[in-house]
Amino acid sequence: MSKVDVLLGLQWGDEGKGKIVDVLAPKYDVVARFQGGPNAGHTLEFDGIKHVLHQIPSGIFREKTKNIIGNGVVLDPIIFKSEIEKLKKYNLNVHANLFISKKATLILPTHRLLDQAYEKAKGENKIGSTLKGIGPTYQDKIGRQGLRVGDILSDSFKERLDKLTQIHFKILKEHGLEFNWTELESQFLDAVEFLKGFRLIESEYVLNQELKAGSTILAEGAQGALLDIDFGSYPFVTSSSTVTAGACTGLGVAPSHIGEVYGIFKAYSTRVGSGPFPTELNDDQGELMRKEGNEFGSTTGRPRRCGWIDLPSLKYSIMINGVTQLLMMKADVLNVFPIIKICTHYKLSDGTVTDMVPYEVVKEKIIPIYKEMKGWNISLKGFTKDNLPAALNEYIKFLETELNVPITLVSTGPDRTQTILR
């Protein structure tokens, strides 16, 4: 029996999961997404081309890898169709290599509208959602009235769609949202027909059979641990379980079948959308990070908030996820900083100094306590694991000691090849 390795973000998303899944995929027979949906934007770069995937697993460019969209995912057929169409020119065998769980929940056009309505109603307190309908779809799933991918094969699908959209229309009317349902419905039904052309499976059986046969499986997380529905800075979170346990429920694999847990983090921090961000830099240095890191959302194009690395929150993520290996991304973005700061502790409003994330993380006025280190301050082009600049080695060593998990990979650029294994 083999194991499922899990790769997930330890911060607020956009750590570089897409790049690393693509790098690791040749080692895996199967890559499977287990939660989230088109709120994700996973970037892969090779041969001078940049690809952004939203719902399709990041193993899709590797010929021998099976890609599975698991039951824990929320799937928008319209976005799915447009993603597949964008991939057409690369001649990938998506009909053979891509499998979709019948138990994944469908995002309807009305879910997207509800997302807009709820955000608007929140006013200043809005979550900063990607407005892809994620929250309202998971609400319907948990409320036991959602529609699932497998339902599209049933004769009563249209009837069930009508029933659910009627419920949505009532709420949308209360919010005064105007829309043209005839157009949206026809676009949706067209995409549903398209979806029927793919391999719709009971992915929990397929994955467990693969495990029995000794196949290697990589579970690809979306978002990050600090956006998790239970452990993130609630309510400024997404609506799914972004943590390792989510891979079990989102794929139907037992906890005892989890192997390595790759925790991926940026050498600094970013966040897009609202919510607490203790080390955020609202100054020239933050601006420089955004520029050097090209920190603009892969899904929405919004500028990402930037700041120094935050060890209390990383320690929390590592604990919740049982991380066995750390992967440090975007080290090159710090090349231009002569001094690098590391937040080791938080000072709370009552004077307490702690390296734990407080319950009142949203309300608390957290003051980060920093350790300063000398930056390497040169380009990382051409460096290998054996001759990394001393200051970068010091940075890595300090993080490993504090976090108590080895950093086994350092990424120095967006391309597949800009990856140093330690």
Q: Which residues are designated catalytic?
A: 14, 42
In the complex, the smallest distance separating the C-beta of residue 40 from Mg ion, rounded to whole angstroms, is 6
Of 253-282, binders to ligand GDP (CB under 6 A) are none
For residue 140, the tally of other CB atoms under 10 A from its CB is: 24
In the complex, the smallest distance separating the C-beta of residue 23 from ligand GDP, rounded to whole angstroms, is 10
Report the C-alpha gap between 422 and 409 in whole angstroms: 6
Helix (H) or strand (E) holding 106: strand 105-106
User: Of these partners, ligand GDP, Mg ion, ligand IMO, none, which one is at the site of residue 51 (CB under 5 to 8 Å by kind)?
Assistant: none
Cβ distance to ligand IMO smaller for residue 127 or 149: 127
What residue is closest to ligand IMO based on CB? 273
| Phi, psi for 285 (deg, rounded to 5) | -65, -40
Closest Cα to residue 33, out of 82, 79, 71?
71
Report the C-alpha gap between 151 and 197 in whole angstroms: 14
Relative orientation angle of helices 109-122 and 134-142, to the nearest 10 degrees: 110
Residue with tokens 């090349």: 335
> Which tokens belong to 15?
């750590």
What residue is closest to ligand GDP based on CB? 43
The residues, any chain, with a CB within 8 Å of residue 351's CB and separated by 6 or more, are none
Report the C-alpha gap between 108 and 185 in whole angstroms: 9
Beta carbons of 322 and 10 less than 8 angstroms apart: no
- Find the binder of ligand IMO among 35, 39, 97, 321 (CB under 6 A): 39
Report the C-alpha gap between 333 and 249 in whole angstroms: 35
User: Of these partners, ligand IMO, Mg ion, ligand GDP, none, which one is at the site of residue 65 (CB under 5 to 8 Å by kind)?
Assistant: none
Does residue 368 belong to the site contacting ligand GDP (CB under 6 A)?
A: no
Q: Where are the alpha helices (DSSP H) in 88-234?
A: 94-97, 109-122, 134-142, 157-174, 181-195, 203-212
Q: Which stretch binds ligand IMO (CB under 6 A): 12-20, 253-261, 355-363, 404-412?
A: 12-20
Q: Which stretch binds ligand IMO (CB under 6 A): 34-42, 70-78, 144-152, 254-262?
A: 34-42
User: How many chain residues are in contact with ligand IMO, going by CB under 6 A?
Assistant: 23
User: How many chain residues are in contact with ligand GDP, going by CB under 6 A?
Assistant: 24
Q: Which stretch binds Mg ion (CB under 5 A): 13-21, 132-140, 259-267, 336-344?
A: 13-21
User: Of these partners, ligand GDP, ligand IMO, Mg ion, none, which one is at the site of residue 129 (CB under 5 to 8 Å by kind)?
Assistant: ligand IMO
Q: Which stretch binds ligand GDP (CB under 6 A): 15-23, 180-188, 202-210, 354-362?
A: 15-23
Beta carbons of 265 and 327 less than 8 angstroms apart: yes
Report the C-alpha gap between 328 and 148 in whole angstroms: 36
Does residue 134 belong to the site contacting ligand IMO (CB under 6 A)?
A: yes
Of 280-309, binders to ligand GDP (CB under 6 A) are 293-294, 298
Q: Which residues of 358-377 are buried (b: 16+ CB within 10 A; e: fewer)?
A: beebeebebebbbeebebbe
DSSP-based three-state secondary structure for 349: coil
Amino acid at 8: L
Encoded one letter per residue, x for contact with ligand IMO by CB under 6 A and - for no contact, window 279-318 reads -------------------x--------------------
Does residue 278 belong to the site contacting ligand IMO (CB under 6 A)?
A: no
Of 377-416, binders to ligand GDP (CB under 6 A) are 411-414
Cβ distance to ligand GDP smaller for residue 44 or 172: 44
Residue with tokens 């690393």: 20
Counting Cα atoms < 13 Å in the Cβ hemisphere of 57 gives: 35
- Find the binder of ligand GDP among 103, 332, 345, 361 (CB under 6 A): 332
In the complex, the smallest distance separating the C-beta of residue 339 from ligand IMO, rounded to whole angstroms, is 27
Does residue 298 belong to the site contacting Mg ion (CB under 5 A)?
A: yes
Positions touching Mg ion (CB under 5 A) are 14, 41, 298
Positions touching ligand IMO (CB under 6 A) are 9, 12-14, 39-42, 127-130, 132, 134-135, 222-224, 227, 238, 272-273, 298
Positions touching ligand GDP (CB under 6 A) are 9, 13-19, 40-43, 45, 293-294, 298, 329-330, 332-333, 411-414
